[in-house]
Amino acid sequence: MNRTSIIILGVSALFLVGAAVTFAWGVSKAASIDVDDNAIFQGKQGTVEIEKYSSYSVYVKSDYSCSETTVSIYDDEWEYFFEDCDRIMNEDGWNMVGYFSPDICCQLNVDANHEIAIVDDMVFVREGGGHIIISGGLCCLGVIGVIVGIIVIVTSKPDENRVQIINSEETLPIVEESDNTEKNSEWWSE
């Protein structure tokens, strides 16, 4: 292997290790947000200030299940809440019951039969999603580097241990000695 391919493979390995560490860090941060601290709305009824084309997750206190909870998030014309009981998204003390992603801005009305909390999903990006996205880029760079390193190894000529081909026409003849007491004449003197 030549030195260039070793350097490329070493840097690629560092990118892949960095991707794994960054991904693990991001997942651990995004997996445990504090709903109470990050809620933009908490209660049973009221209005919530929202941004156009944003995404929001809705949680209910863990004392209640998703099937026991009814939520309505609406304006004068539309219902925006979609029920989605995703256990993976449950947080300490809170169970996810759904989400909404409005195409309008300003305010929506909220009605629920239990206390709910609404969290802007950008919290997940701020808490750990950015690390997960960065890890994807590092992983791509690492994989590309491994591919380039392998191509360099396969296509490069070896620096050492070159095989020398000897032309058989240029070799000298081998003279055999005999046990005869007479002296043999040399073949070139004839």
Residues 84 and 113 in one domain: yes
Which domain does 67 fall in, by range? 35-121
pLDDT tens sequence across 13-69: 999 999 999 998 888 877 677 888 888 999 999 999 988 888 999 999 988 988 889
What does the pLDDT read at residue 160?
55
130-149 average pLDDT score: 91
The secondary structure of 65-116, three-state, reads CCCCCCEEEECCCCECCEECCCHHHCECCEEEEEEECCCCCEEEEEEEEEEE
Q: Which CATH number goes with the domain that contains 67?
A: 2.60.120
Which among 96, 121, 146 is the end of a domain?
Answer: 121
In a domain, 105, yes or no: yes
Mean pLDDT of 162-174: 58
Q: Is 8 domain-assigned?
A: yes
What pLDDT is attached to residue 13?
92
Cα–Cα separations (whole angstroms), residue 188 to 156, 174, 181, 184: 47, 13, 20, 12
Q: Give pTM, 2 decimals.
A: 0.60
